[in-house]
């Protein structure tokens, strides 16, 4: 990777153009100050900002009105085959955030987003879709009267034939609803819908975990400078180095209990057969039912201790902590009776809703780390990275790295930050893990609340 690159965080912008509503094309490569691109696995589209120093009164002469388009192509030297390329699929300027005088010039900040986000806000769907949920998602994304995207799609195939009646909904809202009912061919219900620098994704977390790691990053001090080589530092080591890191609020037990991450039950009421079924969920029992970020059941372990905490029960034994209820209309043959003229798959949200809620809580409130790294264009939201955290303070185990908080992490958010002055590219990212590499020691009865004579 280091071949052809002079220092970690170096980048090249080969194209940066603003297309105005009047048909003018303005080259911004010499006047931009900073460019930020935001990816978020819990958002449906890319967003960003560009800061320009205007000495030609572009705001009036162009003019800039919030109806422009922005195109750019950015490379990491030595990685020309993995660019951030939005020359064929441009961004839409939607907001002029700041105009401030600065010594005879004007500092302007423009906000941009994927054009699909604006189309979503302009469009409502009122129709019937039939087929696999994955086919419906592709139809919505590509439909000329829906999102009409030409970006690359990463849509995982789903089970079952559904009939979806859409009552005047925005396309993104409909797709988000479909993630709750989608089941992959491997039986996973953990679908996510987001856009990253590669394209638009409707897929399971399991499929993201299977991609493997895109790089290794280590929380370490800056490497030595080799003065014999002209003051050049080790670029490859610098690309792996975590510049800053902090662990966000992790393992909020109170919140995780209320959200049903540890234990819950779903009550499925069948209005056709006049019966109901209670489906319990247990965090520890179902821990390996679906893939984890390490993608290795032999090294994936719960991030909580399974020892007794109350009434000789562990955290997952309290199923009343969260209760879900939903109605269905399934006949004895397993067909959805609310539709005639076809053997449609009934809604089975309640079979998986507990698992989905638990997984969403783990991703949002599991082991979460925020870090800053030297940028390279291979890093994406939805990618898996290896993070090594050196042991701080006294080492009681003899390990080189923290055995719990090191390992594979899933990137859920990324801010790609490009600064013109000095040509420096950094990435501020959030990453999570839903398992530990080593099993937590069991406290048995020692983890229970001490009382009376036990104190």
**384: β partners:** 213, 410
Cis amide linkage into residue 63, ω under 30° from 0: yes
CA atoms within 13 A on the CB side of 164: 27
Mean pLDDT of 422-438: 93
Rg (CA), the chain: 25
- Identify the weakest region by mean pLDDT among 137-141, 163-167, 280-284: 163-167
- Please tell me the CATH code under which domain 1-113+213-223+234-250+366-440 is placed: 2.30.300.10
Task: Give the mean model confidence (pLDDT) for residues 10-19.
Answer: 95
Residue of 162 and 228 predicted with greater confidence: 162
- Give me the mean pLDDT over the 129-153 stretch: 96
Segment among 22-26, 227-231, 346-350 with least mean pLDDT: 227-231
Strand extents, DSSP E, 342-423? 367-374, 384-388, 407-419
The Cα–Cα gap between 167 and 179 comes to: 17
End-to-end CA distance of the chain: 58
Q: What is the mean pLDDT of residues 204-216?
A: 92
3-state secondary structure of 441: coil
In this prediction, residues 40-44 reach a mean pLDDT of 93
Which tokens in the block code for residue 433?
Answer: 């893990």
* Phi, psi (deg, nearest 5) at residue 129: -110, 140
What distance in Å separates the CA atoms of residue 219 and residue 437, rounded to the nearest whole number?
A: 18
Which CATH entry fits the domain spanning 119-205: 2.40.10, 3.90.550, 3.90.25, 3.55.50?
A: 3.55.50
Task: Give the predicted TM-score (pTM) of the model.
Answer: 0.91
Q: Per-residue pLDDT tens for 313-336?
A: 889 999 999 999 988 888 888 888
pLDDT of residue 230: 47
Least confident of 230-244, 376-390, 416-430: 230-244
Mean model confidence pLDDT for the chain: 88
Q: Decide the pairing of beta strands 91-102 and 69-75.
A: antiparallel
pLDDT of residue 10 exceeding 70, the answer is yes
Per-domain residue ranges of the chain: 1-113+213-223+234-250+366-440, 119-205, 253-355
Residue 454 has pLDDT above 60, yes or no: no
Could you tell me which of 129, 13, 32 has the C-alpha nearest to residue 138? 129
User: Tokens for 166?
Assistant: 């859409």
CB 283 within 8 A of CB 355: no
Q: Percent of the chain having pLDDT more than 70?
A: 91
Crossing angle of helices 171-181 and 115-122, in 10° steps, is: 100
Q: Which of 183-187, 273-277, 311-315, 433-437 has the lowest mean pLDDT?
A: 311-315
Among the residues of 29-170, which ranges form H helices?
A: 58-61, 115-122, 133-142
Q: Is the pLDDT of residue 448 over 90?
A: no
Model confidence at 57: pLDDT above 50: yes
C-alpha distances out from residue 257 to 78, 244, 313, 318, 376, Å: 48, 31, 14, 9, 39
Say how far apart CA 222 and CA 204 lie, in whole Å. 37
Contacts of 396 (CB under 8 A, 6+ apart): none
Q: Mean pLDDT across the stretch 386-402?
A: 73
The residue with greater pLDDT, 13 or 327, is 13
Q: Residues 359-378: pLDDT tens digits?
A: 988 888 778 999 999 999 99
H-helix segments, 144-271:
171-181, 205-209, 235-240, 253-259
**pLDDT, position 5:** 86
Q: Which residue has the higher pLDDT, 118 or 335?
A: 118
């Amino acid at each position: 990777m280091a071949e052809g690159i002079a220092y970690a965080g170096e980048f090249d912008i080969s194209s940066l153009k603003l297309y105005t509503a009047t048909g003018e094309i303005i080259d911004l490569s010499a006047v931009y100050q900073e460019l930020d691109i935001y990816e978020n696995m819990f958002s449906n589209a890319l967003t960003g900002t560009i800061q320009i120093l205007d000495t030609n009164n572009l705001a009036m002469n162009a003019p800039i009105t919030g109806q422009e388009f922005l195109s750019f192509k950015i490379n990491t030297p030595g990685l020309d085959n993995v660019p951030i390329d939005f020359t064929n699929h441009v961004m839409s300027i939607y907001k002029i955030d700041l105009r401030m005088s600065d010594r005879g010039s004007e500092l302007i900040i423009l906000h941009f987003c994927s054009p699909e986000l604006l189309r979503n806000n302009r469009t409502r769907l009122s129709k019937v879709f039939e087929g696999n949920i994955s086919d419906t998602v592709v139809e919505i994304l590509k439909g000329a009267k829906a999102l009409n995207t030409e970006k690359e799609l990463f849509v995982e195939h789903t089970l079952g034939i559904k009939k979806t009646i859409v009552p005047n909904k925005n396309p993104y809202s409909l797709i988000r609803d479909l993630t709750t009912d989608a089941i992959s061919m491997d039986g996973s219900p953990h679908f996510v819908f987001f856009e990253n620098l590669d394209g638009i994704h409707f897929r399971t977390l399991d499929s993201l975990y299977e991609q493997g790691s895109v790089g290794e990053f280590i929380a370490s001090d800056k490497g030595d400078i080799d003065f014999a080589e002209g003051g050049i530092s080790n670029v490859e080591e610098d690309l792996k180095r975590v510049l800053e890191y902090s662990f966000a609020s992790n393992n909020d037990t109170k919140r995780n209990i209320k959200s049903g991450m540890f234990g819950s039950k779903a009550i499925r009421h069948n209005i056709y057969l006049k019966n109901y079924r209670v489906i319990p969920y247990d965090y520890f029992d179902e821990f390996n039912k679906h893939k984890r970020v390490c993608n290795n059941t032999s090294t994936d372990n719960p991030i909580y201790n399974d020892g007794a905490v109350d009434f000789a029960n562990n955290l997952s034994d309290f199923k009343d902590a969260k209760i879900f209820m939903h109605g269905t209309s399934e006949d004895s043959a397993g067909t959805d009776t609310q539709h005639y003229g076809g053997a449609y798959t009934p809604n089975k949200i309640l079979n998986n809703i507990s698992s989905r809620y638990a997984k969403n809580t783990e991703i949002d409130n599991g082991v979460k780390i925020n870090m800053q790294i030297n940028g390279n264009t291979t890093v994406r939201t939805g990618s898996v990275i290896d993070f090594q955290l050196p042991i701080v303070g006294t080492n009681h185990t003899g390990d080189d790295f923290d055995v719990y908080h090191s390992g594979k992490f899933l990137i859920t958010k990324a801010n790609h930050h490009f600064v013109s002055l000095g040509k420096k590219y950094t990435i501020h990212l959030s990453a999570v893990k839903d398992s530990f590499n080593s099993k937590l020691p069991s406290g048995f009865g020692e983890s229970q609340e001490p009382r009376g004579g036990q104190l």
